[in-house]
Amino acid sequence: MPDLAGLRLLHVHAHPDDESSKGAASTARYVAQGVDVHVVTCTGGERGSVLNPRMDRPEVWADISSIRRAEMDAAREILGITQHWLGFVDSGWPEGDPKPPLPEGCFGLVPLDDAVERLVRLVREIKPHVMTTYDERGGYPHPDHIRCHEVSVAAFEAAGDPERFPEAGEAWQVDKLYYHHTFNRPRTEALHSEMVKRGLDSPYAERLASWKPEPEWDARITTRVECAEYFGVRDQALLAHATQIDPDGAWFAVPLEVSQDAWPTEDYELVVSHVPTEVPESDLFAGVIMDR
Structural domain that includes position 124 = 8-184+218-273
- The answer to whether position 282 is within a domain reads no
- The answer to whether position 196 is within a domain reads no
- The answer to whether position 287 is within a domain reads no
- Report the C-alpha gap between 235 and 68 in whole angstroms: 17
Give pLDDT, residue 96: 86
- The answer to whether position 193 is within a domain reads no
- How many domains does the chain fold into? 1
Task: Determine contact, residues 289/275, Cβ cutoff 8 Å.
Answer: yes
- The answer to whether position 281 is within a domain reads no
Tens-place pLDDT, residues 209-248: 999 999 999 999 999 999 999 999 999 999 999 999 999 9
Task: Determine contact, residues 282/111, Cβ cutoff 8 Å.
Answer: no
Mean pLDDT in residue range 173-196: 97
Binding residues: 15, 18, 145
- The answer to whether position 200 is within a domain reads no
Task: Determine contact, residues 165/43, Cβ cutoff 8 Å.
Answer: no
- The answer to whether position 39 is within a domain reads yes
Q: Is the pLDDT of residue 99 over 90?
A: no
Binding residues for Zn(2+): 15, 18, 145
CATH number at 166 reads: 3.40.50.10320
Look at 291 and 252; give whichever has higher pLDDT.
Answer: 252
- The answer to whether position 50 is within a domain reads yes
Cα 177 to Cα 60, 107, 164, 170, distances in angstroms: 37, 22, 19, 20
